[in-house]
Amino acid sequence: MRTIVETLQPDVPYRVRQRLGPWITRLARALGQPEYRLRDTEYVGTVKQPLDEFTAALKEHGFEWDPLAWYHVPPVGSEPNGSWAYRRGLLADRQIHVILIAHSAKYIDVFAHEEYNWLRHPIKHLRQVGIEREVGSSKMQRWLESHGVAFEVKSRPRRKVANTLTDLYTHLGSTIE
């Protein structure tokens, strides 16, 4: 399973982000709230695809990797494996923000919300003004359906049980072979 560091795009070197990160964090804290806690209302569904394959599809359809999304705290305790934004244009008023959490090589929980575009409204974005969780989640579900991406919607307890059973089955299968 790849971490968010491993999913960085080549044009955004990790070392630059690592060196600027503390300064960005201080500035963000002075202007707003850089940490963001994902909520169950943002859950789009679970996609059964490898992370690389799914992120390639997002990129192919106009989503861009979001370098400011290092501060997302998922409700399930896992670290995000990628963060993508879709805007109608570079300086569009709003964007759909998609957060990916890969629990294994075979399935990804997808979360989304609609928010102000950080390129056009950096202060509103930092202060988390106007975040529409259900709207973003619904729009992303429609996007998945329109692009033929299969997904399942399960409650958090059902996801945890299903993920644990799938991992156990995979582990037992590899042990038996």
Angle (CA) 31 83 136, round 5°: 85
What's residue 89's pLDDT? 93
Please indicate, yes or no, whether the overall pTM of this predicted structure exceeds 0.75: yes
Is 140 buried (19+), middle (13-18) or exposed (0-12) by CB count in 10 A?
buried
**Interior CA angle at 103 toward 100 and 108, to 5°?**
40
Instruction: Give the other-Cβ count within 10 Å of 84's Cβ.
Output: 23
Give the H or E element holding residue 85. strand 82-86
Tell which wins on pLDDT, 66 or 95.
Answer: 95
pLDDT 10s digits, 60-94: 999 998 766 555 555 555 666 788 999 999 999 99
3-state secondary structure of 100: strand
Q: Is the pLDDT of residue 20 over 60?
A: yes
